[in-house]
Chains A and B, each alone.
Chain A
């Protein structure tokens, strides 16, 4: 039972920012939002995670709304290698990750 909702697919032009939305309206106060991505036939790659505050690392930025019911992953300058399925996951208190179908991001030249 995935606790997140994401668009099925998105397109982005190479060099532009990719903004991937995620709804998690039933998130509990101490549950984290995690983002992973999976390139075809590979294991998932950790991107970023957050609880309340916005987060940034070398890969991406994570913007979480004040009510925590939604978030946006931002890839500031998308490249062709960023083409992948992006998963937004609410991590349960027992550390389990329940995966939805994610957003298939296509970065176009």
Chain B
């Protein structure tokens, strides 16, 4: 159980275009989903937290108008990178958490490799 999928697994896009990444919890309802990005040889950096039906909460320094997050259902959240630039090339990872309160784990998707040319 607790499987999280991401689509696509990798994407190449041209500078100035937008890219949408999907994150799905396959066998549980995710009340909260988190979006991270990871640059080569670096750790995961939390970008934003989204609760189903609410606006996402962005971490300091993350542009909410550039990284649009939608969490319209308990099993799906999307991240749209708008007007992508080469510096947005990174490994984007989502995680999903199903239970509020202590002891709930975050289960991670396999990640999406974005390359902007």
For residue B12, give the distance in angstroms from its CB to the closest CB of chain A: 16
Bound Cα distance from A51 to B6, whole angstroms:
30
Q: Are B110 and A49 in contact (CB under 8 A)?
A: no
Interface flag for B54 (CB, 8 Å): no
- Closest-by-CB residue of B relative to A30 is B102
B103: chain A residues within 8 A (beta carbon): 32, 49
A98: chain B residues within 8 A (beta carbon): 46
Best-surrounded residue of A42, A44, A49 (most CB of chain B within 10 A): A44
For residue B105, give the distance in angstroms from its CB to the closest CB of chain A: 5
Q: Are B113 and A41 in contact (CB under 8 A)?
A: yes
Q: Are B46 and A97 in contact (CB under 8 A)?
A: yes
Question: Known interface pairs A42-B110, A44-B108. Does A102 touch B102 (Cβ–Cβ under 8 Å)?
Answer: no
Interface flag for A100 (CB, 8 Å): yes
- Closest-by-CB residue of B relative to A87 is B43
Interface flag for A101 (CB, 8 Å): yes
Using a CB-CB cutoff of 8 Å, which residues 1-48 of chain B contact chain A?
A: 2, 4, 6, 32, 34, 36, 42-46
Best-surrounded residue of A95, A99, A100, A101 (most CB of chain B within 10 A): A95
Interface flag for A45 (CB, 8 Å): yes
The 4 closest A-B pairs by CB, nearest first: A43-B108, A99-B43, A99-B44, A44-B108
Q: Jot down 22 A-B pairs with beta carbons below 8 A, ordered by A.
A: A30-B102, A41-B111, A43-B6, A43-B93, A43-B95, A43-B108, A43-B111, A44-B95, A44-B108, A45-B108, A46-B106, A46-B107, A87-B43, A95-B32, A95-B49, A95-B97, A96-B46, A97-B44, A97-B46, A99-B36, A100-B43, A101-B42
Which residues from chain B sit less than 8 Å from chain A, CB to CB?
A: 2, 4, 6, 32, 34, 36, 42-46, 49, 91, 93, 95, 97, 102-111, 113
